[in-house]
Structure 1
Amino acid sequence: MKRNILTIALSSSLILSSLIFTGCSSNNTDELQNNNALINNTESLGNKKKIAKPIYKELKYSNLLDSGIQEEVKVILMKNGINKEDVERYFRGVNNYNKIYKDDLPNIAGFSVLEKSQVPYDGFAFQDKWIEKNKEYFDINCRISAFRLVNQFIESKDDFYESDGQLGMDIDTIEKNPDAAFNKNDINKFKKLFDIIEIDRFGTDEEIAKFISDQWDKRGISFVGNSDVTLISGFSKNEDTKELLAGHVGVAVKNDDEILFIEKYSPATPYQVTKFKNKEAVRSYMFDRLISTEGDAAMPGAIIMENNKLMK
């Protein structure tokens, strides 16, 4: 059985709940070390339930350590309409994380090129170092970091949303980690957007995507205003409990003839910006990101959404 959740007891008075390494949930970072041959050798389930290899040949990525890359990305974000205050808040989180891990990140400056389908971070080592430095709260995860950048492009009705507590780790981080910097309206919108979605049955990808979109409509969530900055959500399917969870989330930003995909890899692991040629490559990356297995059995393929539409 794959070990995909680690529960950490910090002291008799403080127990932090589940910390997940390969996104905001899903599979184990240790196993990403085995993905070296994925592009050339291993096939994976595609979004349409057919066998499909990642369509990209390499990753051109940055961990945003150097000021030059940070300024480049800041300019692109603000050029695409993300307000300066949210950009600066986002990079405060980046820099606070990088102060702890500057000697541990594989990318030191500029963009690195890697002939792998994912960057093989050692999530458990990163987690241990975080706990050494900070025993009060988790670091930002993928959902929280993405929300910071797209918040202004998502509208929510003012009604209070009652969550069932499935986002407990996220909300604990938002309330305790100053880099989140959410107000009450932000928290309410965040819950509506990312709370687990219950579904009666799993149909086709198109049917599931429409169900997700309809549930957002019922919660009062709508996506507005900017087709060049979009929320990319990878929904994992739990066929036993009939639940859908946004297991990994990032933001796609158009930059001339390329797409920047911006993500916090997981609570313990780094911020990452990756350059892709097109949205198809981003979708392929996200699906590969959410591949999980139990022994030799493939788990249900993820549903990749761009805002409230199935990403194709």
Structure 2
Amino acid sequence: MKKAILVWTAIMAAGLLALAGCGKKETGQAGEYTNLADKESRKAVVAELEACGVTKEQTATLEKWAEDYHEITAKSYSYPKGFTALPKDGMDYTSILMDDSAKPYSYLQVLNCRLTAFNLIKNQLTTAGTGNDTDLWLMFDIDAIDTMPEYQLTKEERADFLTLFNQVSVEGTSTLEEHEQKIQEAWKERDIQISGDKLSLISVYLHAPEDQARFVGHTGVLADTKDGLLFVEKYSAMDPFQATYFKDRAELKEYLLARPDLYGDKTELAPIIMENGNVME
């Protein structure tokens, strides 16, 4: 009898450990990511974002987009459930194909990092509203906002989007430090403000020498959570959503700069990573 009790106790303990392990993967830890492909991981990410001031309306939009994206790409890619360790050699989404016969394809084919990040940050964002819609780097974004109900914005929100993401002129400069200064000056001139201290915008400014400009080639929101720093992004227009925990900003910066698609030819200066209006050191 005593032996049976000991065996049963061992089985129960193993079961509890297994459950604890599953729970850990659902919430995530530093160095782990999720593609928001399952309900549990979406719920975990949404809870973190809402704790940082993102509204339920905004997170509902993110959930809908992520669910639709998973629906039309699941046949071509095996998404990990919950949170899993980042691959050592970086993310590889080249095998993903969108089902162009699916209804959500019409709007998802243009859903990029800027539209995603703006949806999450817009209620904490104010600007001078001085942006222009002739910026060629934003032409697909503008077309999506103006023609697709999924991305419809108010007049004020549209102005904020343009002001936030309009390219920055670096005419007459030649060094990385001068480019950093130009971007910071642009944020001040455009009076771009993000309220609160739990949510920030991470922007990767790429160099376009032919235009003598810097433009936001990638962006996402960074949530300061009890479990660490959570970076939420749309990896690219054709690639999935991704939410990744990092132990610190240095780790996040290293992750971002490891992306090969951020680099062009030798005429381009290095990418510049900003957290709100400040250069990320």
- TM-score, with length taken from structure 1: 0.72
Q: Write the distance in 2 (CA, Å) between the matches of 1:136 and 1:110.
A: 27
* Higher-RCO chain (CA-CA 8 Å, sequence separation at least 6): 1
Contact 2:133 2:162 in 1 (8 A): yes
Other-structure match for 2:90: 118
Of 225, 230, 233 in structure 2, the residue corresponding to residue 263 of structure 1 is: 233
The 5-angstrom pairing of residues 137-148 of structure 1 reads 137=107, 138-148=109-119
Contact 1:59 1:115 in 2 (8 A): no
* Matching of residue 64 in structure 1 with residue 33 in structure 2: no
Contact 2:173 2:179 in 1 (8 A): yes
CA deviations over 1:39-62 (Å, ceiling 9, x no partner): xxxxxxxxxxxxxxxxxxx95211
* Residue identity matched to 1:218: E
Other-structure match for 2:57: 85
Of 227, 235, 243 in structure 1, the residue corresponding to residue 213 of structure 2 is: 243
Q: Write the distance in 2 (CA, Å) between the matches of 1:214 and 1:195.
A: 13
Q: Write the distance in 2 (CA, Å) between the matches of 1:143 and 1:75.
A: 22
Contact 2:176 2:269 in 1 (8 A): no
* Residue identity matched to 1:149: L
* Matching of residue 94 in structure 1 with residue 66 in structure 2: yes
Other-structure match for 1:19: none
Check 1:191–1:130 CA distance in 2 against 1; reply closer, same or farther (3 A cut).
Answer: farther
Contact 1:92 1:179 in 2 (8 A): no
Q: 1:241: Cα distance to partner?
A: 2.4
* Matching of residue 309 in structure 1 with residue 278 in structure 2: yes
Other-structure match for 1:55: none
| Rg larger in structure | 2
Check 1:133–1:176 CA distance in 2 against 1; reply closer, same or farther (3 A cut).
Answer: farther
Q: Write the distance in 1 (CA, Å) between the matches of 2:88 and 2:151.
A: 31
- TM-score, with length taken from structure 2: 0.80
Q: 1:261: Cα distance to partner?
A: 0.8
Contact 2:205 2:218 in 1 (8 A): yes
What is the CA RMSD across the aligned residues, in angstroms?
Answer: 2.3
Other-structure match for 2:23: none
Stretches of structure 2 that go unaligned for 5 or more consecutive residues are 1-29
* Residue identity matched to 1:113: A
132-141 or 280-289: bigger deviation: 132-141
How many pairs does the alignment contain?
Answer: 248
SS at match of 1:133: coil
Q: Write the distance in 2 (CA, Å) between the matches of 1:193 and 1:293.
A: 24
